[in-house]
Amino acid sequence: MRTRLVVGNWKMNFTEAEATAAVQSFIKMVSAKSTVDVVVCPPATCIHSVRELVKDTHVKVGAQDVFWEDAGAFTGRISPRMLDDAGVTHCIVGHSETRGRFGKLEVPASTVSTFVETNETINLKLKALLFHALIPILCVGETTEERKEGFTEAVIREQLAGALAGIDASELYFFVVAYEPVWAIGTGNTCEPEEAGRVCRFVSSVLAELLDADVAENIRVLYGGSVRAANAGDLFQQDGIDGGLVGGASLDPLEFSRIVMSA
């Protein structure tokens, strides 16, 4: 059985002082639950302080995104070399929000084109992270319209194939995939546990086709999308779900600790 993994994606929340307070509270609550792998992904401005707070614990620090070049004239971007230097071990790639696919749109629709992630850029980021021995957490998932039209499996297959193009299976033993239905992100709508499990198993089957069955067997598949303490237990009991990628609920130390305990 694969070790459970719970990842907290703080998104664009918390100052350094707020992050420090949250992590200090959270660590006290989960210190005895070392059988579950835990990763916290703070905003870039808080990575260093969070890393210092968790360095003697089983909690790891991840990043929310990365650029694929190590250095250059790319204003505002953060390279995998910089993340490695900061002590980051994991990095989220291809989140629906960086793809411009929002479950709950909180910016003017005219600005969505600012979010321009594609399968090509995701592929470049994955290759750069793997080169630096950082663990990618690849997000895949369908929109409401795609699900209604019966395209869930086709969308996920296309996203996986595009992201993994040209990457050798031997590089992916510690790779992580998170199934995040776009319609469940930030909306309060959660995929029914049985359906979430079915799609996560489908993700694993596609990975086995694209890569190698033995490698795919080691790749953890998480569910994300309005995961809360109240539904985490039911979700984590499903065959095929190896943990969760938690958004808003990870901002509350008590709520997030209860989710970890459910794993």
Residue 168 has pLDDT above 90, yes or no: yes
At residue 34, the pLDDT reads 83
**CA torsion 45→46→51→52, rounded to 10°?**
110
Full-prediction pTM beyond 0.75?
A: yes
Looking only at the bridges linking them, the beta strands covering 243-246 and 5-9 are: parallel
At residue 109, the pLDDT reads 87
Known binding-site residues for substrate equal 9-11, 186, 226, 247-248
Q: What is the mean pLDDT of the chain?
A: 95
Residue 241 has pLDDT above 80, yes or no: yes
Contact in structure between 240 and 179 (CB atoms under 8 Å) = no
Identified catalytic residue from 90, 95, 97, 255: 95
Residue 16 CB neighbour total at 10 angstroms = 14
Residue 102 has pLDDT above 80, yes or no: yes
Pick from 156, 160, 253: nearest CA to 210: 160
**90 belongs to the catalytic site:** no
Structural domains in the chain, CATH included, are 9-262 (3.20.20.70)
Known binding-site residues equal 9-11, 186, 226, 247-248
At residue 87, the pLDDT reads 97
Residue 184 has pLDDT above 90, yes or no: no
Identified catalytic residue from 142, 146, 180, 255: 180
Mean pLDDT computed over 8-16: 97
Residue type, 51: R
Q: What is the CA radius of gyration of the chain?
A: 17
At residue 212, the pLDDT reads 87
Residue 254 has pLDDT above 80, yes or no: yes
Token look-up 């489908």 returns: 202
pLDDT band at 103; cut points 50, 70, 90: confident
Among 158-172, 174-188, 202-216, the least confident range: 174-188
Residue 235 has pLDDT above 90, yes or no: yes
At residue 7, the pLDDT reads 98
**95 belongs to the catalytic site:** yes
Higher pLDDT, 20 or 1: 20
